[in-house]
Amino acid sequence: MDPTVRKILAFLKQIEVPFQLSHFTHDTVLPGLRLQQGVLHIDVDKLLYAGDILHEAGHIAVCEPTERHLLSDDVYKCRSNKSWMKGEEIAAIAWSVAAIQHIGLPTSVVLHPDGYKGSSENLIMVFENNELYGQPLLAAWDMIDSVEDFPNVRTWIRQVSWAESVVV
């Protein structure tokens, strides 16, 4: 197994993001990766970019806790409240950057040139210049102490729910 993938998987195990090594016989949204009921399935033989593991894991980590179990296949199509996805996408990018820096690998592992619709270089500059991109949500969800503390993460899995409680 690729050493970068091995480091990323060790990190996910340490922070308890659910994942499973799998073998796919079908195409997936991202090659080698599939979310299924809140668990990240990884086919290392089909994986193109190790950093994509962290981005998909970031979706699990920052997802509204009451909906985490719904994450399957295309994260934009599986949720009951699709409006949350825009913020969670940005937060997942910030989370994955914090994670790759915590692991001690270059940011470009996550923000590789073939991802993010051609915006990888711009995103790398945003994070290098300490500009805000997802950090306010991580702070609002008590995952980081403040935006100034980024990339230091206090809790890697979001516990704060913004979903309204249902009174029965």
Q: What would the pLDDT profile of 105-152 be if each residue is shown by its tens digit?
A: 999 999 999 998 889 999 999 999 999 999 999 999 999 999 999 999
**Can you tell me the distance from the alpha carbon of 36 to that of 163, in angstroms, rounded to the nearest whole number?**
22
Alpha-carbon 7 to chain mean position: 16
Structure tokens at 159: 């516990």
Determine, yes or no, domain membership for 120: yes
Into how many domains does the chain fold? 1
Contacts of 157 (CB under 8 A, 6+ apart): 15, 16, 17, 60, 61
Tell me the residue range of the domain where 28 lies: 3-149
Q: What is the pTM of this model?
A: 0.92
Determine, yes or no, domain membership for 99: yes
pLDDT band at 5 (very low <50, low <70, confident <90, very high): very high
Determine, yes or no, domain membership for 161: no
**Can you tell me the distance from the alpha carbon of 25 to that of 13, in angstroms, rounded to the nearest whole number?**
25
**Can you tell me the distance from the alpha carbon of 73 to that of 151, in angstroms, rounded to the nearest whole number?**
28
**Exposure string (b/e) for 98-131, b if CB count within 10 Å is 16 or more?**
bbbbebebebebbbbeebbeeebeebbebbeeee
pLDDT at 168 over 50: no
Determine, yes or no, domain membership for 128: yes
Amino acid at 72: S
Determine, yes or no, domain membership for 168: no
pLDDT band at 16 (very low <50, low <70, confident <90, very high): very high
